[in-house]
């Protein structure tokens, strides 16, 4: 016969003596070992929880490389201009917009300067100093214009009755002859070419083109070449802590001195490639064109 015990209640009442003795033994064993068994189960559970919480998570510890910015994230210019950019003593170009915009805002007679357009297909004249502004017209290549102000790399000028701005990158500025007894105008770019005439010292000449130390220009109806070493164009240093003057057109060349920011120096002709040849404090050398302005 089976004896059924209601749920939630343990009793030996009504059982035969033999089964009653077995029941008592089982009940005694349960009372003795149940607490220990429960304690063991709880301990094991707690130990499992502790070990899992103390184990480092792979996502919580970033790799060491993430704490070091990649080299490409720096603000250094591209390699094509790295040589020139390192020439400023600070290696950071000063903002020329403030100085140039103030000159453009109140142009005076002293800021007026002639220049020749050098741009295949011509140079766009825009309504304001921005590539996004309205295009007013195109000034033909080789046209001589007068600049009346500068603003952030743009030159203000008037052409065919319209006033606007052109990119200063495409301009060759007029230079002043600095040669006792005058400067010879020759038929070609070299001393062996015929002498056409002598240009008086102090004369301002247009720069049509230049290269290999010679400037193509025109004077008294004759077109020829003059030595770049005697045709000076004033430029202003735009480098916050000064600009290195070097013995040759290379960032590895000997540093002669540092030209203070804001100094006006004489440039031999116009800039060529990434360097401009200038004179300062009795020394002639080369400076990065990135840090000079023609305003």
What is the reported pLDDT for 39?
62
97-172, CATH topology level: SH3 type barrels. (2.30.30)
H or E element in which residue 257 lies: strand 255-259
- Give the C-alpha separation, 89 to 256, whole Å: 12
- Give the C-alpha separation, 280 to 266, whole Å: 7
Q: How many CA atoms lie within 13 A of 294 on its CB side?
A: 29
Indicate the domain borders of the chain: 97-172, 175-231, 232-293
Q: Assess whether the region 97-172 and the region 232-293 belong to the same CATH fold.
A: yes
What mean pLDDT is reported for the chain?
Answer: 75
Distances (CA, A) of 67 to 56, 57, 70, 241: 19, 18, 9, 32
DSSP state for residue 62 in the 8-state scheme? -
Q: Model-level pTM?
A: 0.60
Closest CA relative to residue 189, chosen from 155, 223, 163: 223
CATH architecture of 175-231: Roll (2.30)
Question: Which positions ≥6 away from 141 have C-beta within 8 Å?
Answer: 117, 118, 119, 120, 121, 122, 123
Superfamily in which the 232-293 domain is placed by CATH: SH3 Domains (2.30.30.40)
- Give the C-alpha separation, 27 to 33, whole Å: 10
Is beta strand 231-237 parallel, antiparallel or unpaired with respect to 175-177? antiparallel
Degrees to nearest 5, angle at CA 225 with 147 and 280: 60
pLDDT digits over 222-247, tens only?
999 999 999 999 989 999 999 999 99
- Give the C-alpha separation, 37 to 33, whole Å: 6
Degrees to nearest 5, angle at CA 268 with 267 and 271: 70
Closest CA relative to residue 177, chosen from 141, 215, 127, 126: 215
What is the reported pLDDT for 11?
52
pLDDT digits over 154-188, tens only?
999 999 999 999 998 899 999 999 999 999 999 99
What residue ranges of the chain have pLDDT lower than 70? 1-111, 295
- Give the C-alpha separation, 1 to 163, whole Å: 119
């Amino acid at each position: 016969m089976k004896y059924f015990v209601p749920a939630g209640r343990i009793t030996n009442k009504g059982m035969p003596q033999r089964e009653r003795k077995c029941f008592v033994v089982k009940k005694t064993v349960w009372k003795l070992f149940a607490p220990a068994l429960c304690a063991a189960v709880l301990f094991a559970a707690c130990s499992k929880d502790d070990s899992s919480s103390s184990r480092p998570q792979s996502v919580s510890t970033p790799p060491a490389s993430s704490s070091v910015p990649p080299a490409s994230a720096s603000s250094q210019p591209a390699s094509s201009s790295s040589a020139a950019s390192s020439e400023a003593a600070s290696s950071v170009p000063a903002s020329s917009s403030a100085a140039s915009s103030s000159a453009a805002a109140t142009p005076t007679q002293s800021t007026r300067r002639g220049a020749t357009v050098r741009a295949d297909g011509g140079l766009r004249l825009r309504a304001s100093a921005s590539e996004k502004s309205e295009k007013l017209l195109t000034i033909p290549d080789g046209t001589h214009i007068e600049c009346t102000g500068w603003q952030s790399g743009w030159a203000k000028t008037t052409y065919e009755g319209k006033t606007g701005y052109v990119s200063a990158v495409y301009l060759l500025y007029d230079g002043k002859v600095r040669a006792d007894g005058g400067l010879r105008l020759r038929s070609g770019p070299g001393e062996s070419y015929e002498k056409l005439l002598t240009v008086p010292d102090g004369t301002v000449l247009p720069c049509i083109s230049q290269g290999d130390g010679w400037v193509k220009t025109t004077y008294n109806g004759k077109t020829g070449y003059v030595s770049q070493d005697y045709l000076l164009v004033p430029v202003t240093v735009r480098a916050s802590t000064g600009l290195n003057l070097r013995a040759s057109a290379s960032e590895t060349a000997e540093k002669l001195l540092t030209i203070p920011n804001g100094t006006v120096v004489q440039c031999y002709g116009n800039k060529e490639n990434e360097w401009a040849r200038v004179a300062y404090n009795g020394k002639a050398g080369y400076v990065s064109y990135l840090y000079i302005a023609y305003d």
